Structure 1
């Protein structure tokens, strides 16, 4: 899907952005266009594999800005798909909170700058599933949920991570033995009569509101956004970060290695890091901002759980590990087997 701005002539410089759908407020794009007298051309993807495949198929020379999730960043760097950032062109980098600098997946922010962050947890119907523990047992334990329909996420690494956490291992566990144990648990859950499929987070929320699901996995920002627009439909729907641990994710701005307009791309990254722009972005998509100067301008709902986790919740949130080589091949093959059996 493409969106073109009609504000400037066909000879105006263009910035090509490849991002998730509905992840940036149109007025932010318009402000950037007006400030720099450019046209912004946007296209969208719906998964990290789709972004990765597109860049490897030539997209690294077609786009100026991409927004990969944390665990795909090392894979993209290793594949030569991203260029190093020139920090001298991003003075607003100083606006980042300390916790979002020098993260393990990109030491010293050489290739990426955090854009938004959030969590992946469980949304469930508290009326149909009353008095259940705030645990992954809602999905994995038949004695807790034997008849109410539930779904799980589409991402294999995330699902293996939550299964590892439920089994007493860390969410970010690695190793074939632990992955095999997690895979067996997932396969058993998938083959239960009340399993309702592998469902994307936004679709999960729609099905919960319609009563087609009683539990499923989704993202905290999508949940709060949906509830704000349909308070009645979500009156009995609660979002939790399970006690065993869950995913904390960070989406990042990056510049492909052969981006046609790298200087303009740096300007865009710096623009997003403005305090007022960071706040406008989060107030639009309901996800947490990594920008410390944006905090006073945020909606009240963004300053509290589930958008801003408590300190105790933060202790049980983990980044999904980045895999490559034999580990990546093993997990991909295992996930294919789980879905097909």
Structure 2
């Protein structure tokens, strides 16, 4: 079968903050669904037993053509609305949007039988989905613009989470660090995760409401593996975070608004959210971002088509649409995250120029500070540790 190319006010106690700005962080609603995570870990690969071929052979070639409206499932506010509108006009379809609040929540919806045409897992979750035969195989030769990714970014030609990128196309890249208000704290920090423990910011600090990010931060501070599931390591991590707990104002993944509205003077933050703040900050010079000398977690998101997608042809067209140079540039300017597509580098460099510390490249991914899938026992131990940290 020959390939068919597509046509051309702050909370009084420790709790998540409430956004006040008209635009939220792309991960503003991220929450670490602990109960869901425990259930997933207990299931081994993290998925309910199901006939992998219940909806046909997930490895069968996808006919790249409009075959219905696009049922889209992603973090909130992560694609420029104008890019959606252009896709709808180009192919005569509608984009039906839903948003998830965590990777666990995304998978829970898939396990419940919900059918989406395109989802956006992070690397470790893409690996789980692919291993569970829950994703359609993506033939890159059927995407006109795929060469701009795989011909320019060899890291993604065969990433650790998806051999030969057989089921995914990379979407964004990012790293985690510390954002702060220079007008409240000063022009520079010490360059260590220890800055979150500083007495000068006590009671005005947030960490992300995310299990892996918070446990990983403490692991790096202690010189441990970022995704350790060892009970002894996790005891040390929990003790370290308990010393931080009384200093916190809260757990929140809305670093974007917390810094802009002054709810936080220091926060654990994703690089892309910090870069996106430049579009709203009245005075960007009052904001700073650093990655810690002990190491920064890195990650990437992917486009993926679930095995039970009703409209995989439209999903393929959407991926290809998102890889068009003009759409890549527009979306990078909108979200502040780099998209690994050749020719977009200057656009991203311009976005992060005021915050050079936010710069993320494929070379950063080679540092291999990814959150990896552990054993069921290790994942459950991490869930338990996170529950103890949140409980104080």
TM-score of the superposed pair, with normalisation by structure 1:
0.85
Q: 1:34 to 1:252 in 2, by over 3 A?
A: same
SS at match of 2:268: strand
1:3: which partner in 2?
A: none
Of 112, 115, 132 in structure 1, the residue corresponding to residue 189 of structure 2 is 132
Of 147, 150, 164 in structure 2, the residue corresponding to residue 108 of structure 1 is 164
Separation in 1, partners of 2:183, 2:81 = 37
Q: Is 1:182–2:275 an aligned residue pair? A: no
CA contact (8 A) 1:67 1:251 kept: yes
Q: Is 1:122–2:122 an aligned residue pair? A: no
1:210: which partner in 2?
A: 261
Separation in 1, partners of 2:325, 2:346 = 9
**Residues 49-68 of structure 1 aligned to structure 2 (within 5 Å):** 49-59=104-114, 62-68=115-121
**Residues 270-281 of structure 1 aligned to structure 2 (within 5 Å):** 270-281=320-331
Q: 1:145 to 1:246 in 2, by over 3 A?
A: farther
Q: Is 1:147–2:202 an aligned residue pair? A: yes
Q: Is 1:72–2:125 an aligned residue pair? A: yes
1:98: which partner in 2?
A: 154
1:330: which partner in 2?
A: 381
1:45: which partner in 2?
A: 100
Q: CA deviation at 1:293?
A: 2.5
The aligned length equals 322
Of 20, 30, 36 in structure 1, the residue corresponding to residue 85 of structure 2 is 30
**Residues 160-239 of structure 1 aligned to structure 2 (within 5 Å):** 160-190=215-245, 192=246, 194-200=247-253, 202=254, 204-232=255-283, 234-239=284-289
SS at match of 2:223: coil
CA contact (8 A) 1:48 1:72 kept: yes
TM-score of the superposed pair, with normalisation by structure 2:
0.75
Q: Is 1:264–2:314 an aligned residue pair? A: yes
CA contact (8 A) 1:244 1:316 kept: no
Consecutive unaligned residues of structure 1, counting only runs of 5 or more, are 1-11
Separation in 2, partners of 1:175, 1:243 = 24
Q: 1:147 to 1:296 in 2, by over 3 A?
A: closer
Determine which structure has the larger strand proportion and give its number: 1
